[in-house]
Structure 1
Amino acid sequence: MNIFSRIFRKAKPPEGETERAEILGGGNSFSAWNGDAYANDIYRGAVDAIARNVAKLKGSHVIRYADHDRTEGDCKINRLLQIEPNPYMSAFDMLYKLATHYFLYNNAFAFLQKDEQGRLVGVYPLNAVHIDFVTDAAGALYCDFLFSGGKSVVLPYADVIHLRRNFNSNDLLGDRNEALEPALQLAHTQNEGIISAINSGATLRGILKRTQLANVEKLKDIQENFIKDYLTISNNGGIAVIDNASEYIPLDNKPYTIDEKQLQAVKTKIYDYLGISEAIVNSSYDENQWAAFYESTIEPLAVQFSLEFTRKIFNERERAFGNSILFESGRLQFSSNATKVNLIKELMPYGLLTINQALEILNLPSVEDGEKRLQTLNVVSADEAHKYQMAKAGAEPKKGAAGNERN
């Protein structure tokens, strides 16, 4: 059994004939075309920086109860989301691939493989070259995937993770990256200009003018001999000796160089489009820059992951009982040690952190009995404070209007 058959062997195709889905806004098909944006080094570096950080998100099945208590859910689902979503990649690879497709095509797809009982057994990112949205006789929506090898498969949309960016003109798909094309073309032109400037500086150095007539063959021999004798590294003295039959006229080539501000302006346009800064790309960020990047780029995508995986893995009844998928990351791991220590000092007295949670913030291993919460005696619960105040009020003697004590 090949890989394709193994992945889709339990996929349920639509019963009967299908027809193209009627979409209110825009078309009903998707093509994985990005204008070769990934070939641009600036764009690829930015997308890679985002995808590497998105891939560190931790997906978990959690159950939230009516009293807001939260507990860990199915361990099998957690293993799929955190370690091995399928036999061919790790959880890091899966999230990296989905994030890369998300920013390249503004659409990312993954197939949720389920067994006969509807339980999740695998997650497979899909890199299709074309997708048609079709419906069956009952109106259920399906995705007709066509892959680069020529194979195709029809999957229920309910079993497909679909992440969208720039979700505007189409009811099912994110818009393309046409808005970025001018910046990418400008970046390509700059690269070509730099290469051309380097080449032009190494081509024509001077003119060897003959004051006497000579045929073409003799001129070529004179040119080759002059280059060999005087324009090579072996001419250590740097001096050329010629007779009165020739005259050498050097050319002062000043190749055009692209201004650094122009190069930076193109970078900034691409980075701004992706919601990332250069400090994140070259890993020179501080904790404030990281916090801004996380909140503006990573966290929105984590919310998308959480909602999409939740509604596609669990049915309506399971969601009503508090089942959900949560993708989260330890944001404090990028904070300075001073920030971490101050945070622990502020939160520990209130009993908000366990010993092991405090150690995790400091990137230290957990300890035995580390689930205990420490709390200062200067802080008590509101109920205990009320009891204390009432007890104190009952112990004091009451005074009359004139200030006399009375029983």
Structure 2
Amino acid sequence: MALVNTFKNLMSKGKEFVRAKLMNGYIPVFSQFGQDIYESDIVQNCIDIIATEISKLQPRHIRTDSNGMITTPKSSINRLFKFGPNELMTTRDFLEKVIWLLFLNYNVFIYPIYEYVRSDNGENTRRFTGLYPLNPYQADFLQDASGTLFVKLFFHSGESFTIPYSEIIHIRKKFSVNDIMGGGMNGQPDNAALLKVLQINDAVLQGLEKGIKTSLSIRGILKIATMMDDSSQKKERERFEQLLSSGDSAILPVDLKGDFVPVNLDPKFVDKDTMAFLKSSVQEWYGVSQAILSRDYNDEQYQAFYESTLEPIVIGLGQAFSKPMLTSRELEVGNEIVFYHKDAMFLSTNAKLNLIKIVGEQGLLSDNQKLALLGYPPIEGGERRTMSLNYIDVSLVNAYQMSRTSATKGGTSDE
């Protein structure tokens, strides 16, 4: 693949590396794993909902000037976000894969590929040509003689690459006791507490399966009143089973040698409250409520889900992408990468109408933006902005009130 050749060209040759020194004294060698809990359907459903919602985001490279005005520059970054971060993925695919890798490993590495081009003012600038989410099975952190941090990534194909850490987009989940990696002390998913709940839930499900099979398989005991060897008993049982399967009526004939004794099995299953508790424990771990999990939520429930679960990821994505993809100078003059939620499409129709009324009266939305909120296509001349005359500039409030007071007292308000 072209990505492998690109990595080979970018490898630091002729340099000598030593293990990076961490404050906690641990060797910075981390293996990526964490597949144990992902056999659970509840876990997969929770992650799938989060990944699906994040995949709807619209990443943008924006610039905010000193007056607070936001513009979208025509940059190579915006081109990648619009048409696809690489030749294999759309932007939606890319974001979904990033989130799945993040929850699988509590760390995800993304490599931005770029080339230097000369701008109009004669300066060399970076033109980004691809963004690739990586899934190494091991990451070693190294230092060169100058103390620069590098990361050596090992892949299941047998390839390994050493890349400056400053050029890697590294997104972490539960970044706590480890100095570099997310997860536990060893830079791996710390799912011990969740695994206990899942083991209990699995034992309950297995018990249900066995109880159902038992209750449906053993229906009674056939007592044979004569002495028979094993082969004779087998023939008698097969004859009885044939009667069971071929009888058209509810009456089953049995000769004097046999006596059928029905067995009434009453397996005890786990009550629904216990099952609900086990399920809710997993949902709380991932911050996904039952309403979100069942896709039957209102605006308030989704807003709570967004603020508690999605928003920290959205903010983290913007910061993680901005740091390696933008230069220090670009960051200083207001450049950043932001992940926008498209047009508040999660809102109900009534909520959208209220939003259009409140924000539209301020003149903040064009006619086409209002139509887009309701799912309609743009119209000719729809860039017009209208606002209500029931509002006044705050700087004119005092003058307006003084003029009203003067008019009330019999004066003029020509001012």
The TM-score normalised by the length of structure 1 is 0.90
Aligned pair partner of 1:184 in 198, 204, 214:
198
Residues 1:169 and 2:181 are matched in the alignment:
no
The structure-2 alpha-carbon separation of the partners of 1:378 and 1:217, relative to structure 1 and needing over 3 Å to count, comes to: closer
1:77-103 CA-to-partner distances (Å, cap 9, x unmatched) read: 112123310001111111101111222
Q: Describe the SS at the equivalent of 2:109.
A: strand
Report the more deviating stretch, 356-365 or 37-46. 356-365
1:142-165 CA-to-partner distances (Å, cap 9, x unmatched) read: 222122232222222112211111
Displacement of 1:391 in angstroms is 7.0
Residues 1:110 and 2:110 are matched in the alignment:
yes
Question: Following superposition of structure 1 onto structure 2, how do residues 146-225 of structure 1 map, counting pairs within 5 Å?
Answer: 146-175=154-183, 176=189, 177-225=191-239
Contact 2:63–2:336 (8 Å) recurs in 1: yes
Q: Which residue of 2 aligns with 1:405?
A: none
Question: Following superposition of structure 1 onto structure 2, how do residues 201-280 of structure 1 map, counting pairs within 5 Å?
Answer: 201-230=215-244, 232=245, 234-280=246-292
Contact 2:8–2:161 (8 Å) recurs in 1: no
CA distance in 2: counterparts of 1:245 and 1:166, whole angstroms = 71
CA distance in 1: counterparts of 2:43 and 2:232, whole angstroms = 52
Report the residue type matching 2:238 in the other structure. Answer: E
CA distance in 2: counterparts of 1:387 and 1:301, whole angstroms = 47
Contact 1:12–1:156 (8 Å) recurs in 2: no
Q: Which residue of 2 aligns with 1:93?
A: 93
The structure-2 alpha-carbon separation of the partners of 1:222 and 1:398, relative to structure 1 and needing over 3 Å to count, comes to: closer
Contact 1:204–1:251 (8 Å) recurs in 2: yes
Contact 1:37–1:104 (8 Å) recurs in 2: no
CA distance in 1: counterparts of 2:407 and 2:298, whole angstroms = 56
Question: Following superposition of structure 1 onto structure 2, how do residues 288-327 of structure 1 map, counting pairs within 5 Å?
Answer: 288-327=300-339
CA distance in 2: counterparts of 1:159 and 1:200, whole angstroms = 59
Report the residue type matching 2:16 in the other structure. Answer: E
Q: Which residue of 2 aligns with 1:24?
A: 23
Q: Describe the SS at the equivalent of 1:119.
A: strand
Displacement of 1:325 in angstroms is 0.5
1:53-82 CA-to-partner distances (Å, cap 9, x unmatched) read: 001111001011111111102342112123
Q: Which residue of 1 aligns with 2:351?
A: 339
The structure-2 alpha-carbon separation of the partners of 1:54 and 1:397, relative to structure 1 and needing over 3 Å to count, comes to: closer
Contact 2:19–2:27 (8 Å) recurs in 1: no
Q: Describe the SS at the equivalent of 2:140.
A: strand
Q: Describe the SS at the equivalent of 1:306.
A: helix
Aligned pair partner of 2:153 in 127, 145, 150:
145
1:325-382 CA-to-partner distances (Å, cap 9, x unmatched) read: 0111036312122222122222323223222222222222223333332123332323
Q: Describe the SS at the equivalent of 1:374.
A: coil
Report the residue type matching 2:128 in the other structure. Answer: L
CA distance in 2: counterparts of 1:271 and 1:3, whole angstroms = 40
Report the more deviating stretch, 118-127 or 45-54. 118-127
CA distance in 2: counterparts of 1:376 and 1:289, whole angstroms = 31
Question: Following superposition of structure 1 onto structure 2, how do residues 276-287 of structure 1 map, counting pairs within 5 Å?
Answer: 276-287=288-299
CA distance in 2: counterparts of 1:46 and 1:94, whole angstroms = 19
Report the residue type matching 1:140 in the other structure. Answer: T
Q: Describe the SS at the equivalent of 1:351.
A: coil
Report the residue type matching 1:24 in the other structure. Answer: M
Report the residue type matching 1:147 in the other structure. Answer: F
Q: Describe the SS at the equivalent of 1:128.
A: coil
CA distance in 1: counterparts of 2:14 and 2:309, whole angstroms = 40
Report the more deviating stretch, 12-21 or 381-390. 381-390
Contact 1:63–1:73 (8 Å) recurs in 2: yes
Q: Which residue of 2 aligns with 1:50?
A: 50
Displacement of 1:385 in angstroms is 4.5
Percent sequence identity over matched residues?
Answer: 31
Equivalences, count: 396
Contact 1:145–1:154 (8 Å) recurs in 2: yes
1:178-208 CA-to-partner distances (Å, cap 9, x unmatched) read: 2211122122222212221222123332222
Report the more deviating stretch, 302-311 or 68-77. 68-77
Report the residue type matching 1:34 in the other structure. Answer: G
1:216-235 CA-to-partner distances (Å, cap 9, x unmatched) read: 111111111111222x2x32
CA distance in 2: counterparts of 1:267 and 1:346, whole angstroms = 40
CA RMSD of aligned residues (A): 2.4
CA distance in 1: counterparts of 2:409 and 2:157, whole angstroms = 91
Question: Following superposition of structure 1 onto structure 2, how do residues 348-387 of structure 1 map, counting pairs within 5 Å?
Answer: 348-385=360-397
Q: Where do 5+ consecutive residues of structure 1 fail to align?
A: 400-407
The structure-2 alpha-carbon separation of the partners of 1:386 and 1:240, relative to structure 1 and needing over 3 Å to count, comes to: same
CA distance in 2: counterparts of 1:151 and 1:235, whole angstroms = 67
Q: Describe the SS at the equivalent of 2:363.
A: strand
Q: Describe the SS at the equivalent of 1:108.
A: strand
1:296-327 CA-to-partner distances (Å, cap 9, x unmatched) read: 11111110010010001012112112111011
The TM-score normalised by the length of structure 2 is 0.88
The structure-2 alpha-carbon separation of the partners of 1:14 and 1:226, relative to structure 1 and needing over 3 Å to count, comes to: same
Contact 1:114–1:120 (8 Å) recurs in 2: yes
Q: Describe the SS at the equivalent of 1:202.
A: helix
Question: Following superposition of structure 1 onto structure 2, how do residues 3-18 of structure 1 map, counting pairs within 5 Å?
Answer: 3-13=2-12, 15-18=14-17
CA distance in 2: counterparts of 1:255 and 1:248, whole angstroms = 22
Displacement of 1:46 in angstroms is 0.8
The structure-2 alpha-carbon separation of the partners of 1:388 and 1:253, relative to structure 1 and needing over 3 Å to count, comes to: closer
